[in-house]
């Protein structure tokens, strides 16, 4: 588990200012931090621990327990493949493989140019459109491996 610091704590201070400085706010703060920095920088976690008066070990524990958090910088665009049951029986596995062929990275990995991070997610609740690929904020229902490159182009472009 590498630790990656960031250079700018001001965003973290702004986030901390929005919550009561106590332990129950921890997960909410970490989510906002993750959104702001695209990962959880180690120095921000230290600051959060101090501000909320939660031991650093507990902050680290929470950061590694929940799937929403990453301690490594993520790609500009997150590509999520839903691997819920409906998507599984309708071929989500093939989508993951196709992404691996196209991007050269498997689930929870980031391309070398930091453009894409691939993730598998548990059921996003759009089972009626299974299988599902989400590129950035864009949902692609009834997804087919042959169209993966198109999804990447469309969703990736949206982000920038």
Residues that bind another protein (CB under 8 A): 1, 3, 22-28, 30-31, 42, 45, 52, 54-62, 64-69, 71, 83-91, 93-94, 97-98, 101, 121-130, 132, 138-142, 144-146
Q: List the beta bridge partners of residue 133.
A: 81, 140
Instruction: Output the smallest distance, CB 30 to another protein, in A.
Output: 7
Instruction: Output the smallest distance, CB 111 to another protein, in A.
Output: 19
Please state, in angstroms and as integers, the Cα–Cα distance from residue 80 to each residue in 3, 20, 99, 116, 139, following that order: 24, 32, 10, 10, 9
Instruction: Output the smallest distance, CB 61 to another protein, in A.
Output: 4
**Coil, strand or helix at 82:** strand
Closer to another protein by Cβ: residue 20 or 113: 20
Q: Is 91 left (phi over 0), alpha (psi -120 to 50) or beta?
A: left
Closer to another protein by Cβ: residue 35 or 112: 35
Instruction: Output the smallest distance, CB 150 to another protein, in A.
Output: 13
**Coil, strand or helix at 47:** helix
Closer to another protein by Cβ: residue 40 or 110: 40
């Amino acid at each position: 588990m590498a630790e990656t610091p960031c250079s700018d704590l001001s965003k973290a201070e702004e986030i901390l200012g929005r919550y009561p400085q106590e332990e129950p706010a921890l997960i909410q703060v970490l989510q906002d931090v993750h959104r702001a920095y695209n990962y959880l920088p180690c120095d921000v976690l230290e600051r959060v621990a101090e501000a909320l008066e939660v031991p650093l070990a507990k902050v680290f524990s929470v950061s590694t327990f929940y799937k929403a958090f990453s301690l490594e910088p993520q790609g500009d665009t997150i590509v999520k493949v839903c691997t819920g049951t409906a998507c599984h029986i309708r071929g989500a596995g093939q989508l993951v493989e196709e992404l691996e062929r196209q991007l050269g990275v498997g689930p929870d990995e980031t391309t070398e140019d930091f453009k894409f991070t691939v993730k598998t997610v548990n059921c996003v609740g759009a089972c009626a459109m299974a299988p599902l690929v989400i590129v950035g904020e864009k949902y692609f229902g009834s997804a087919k491996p042959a169209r993966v490159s198109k999804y990447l182009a469309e969703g990736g472009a949206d982000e920038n």
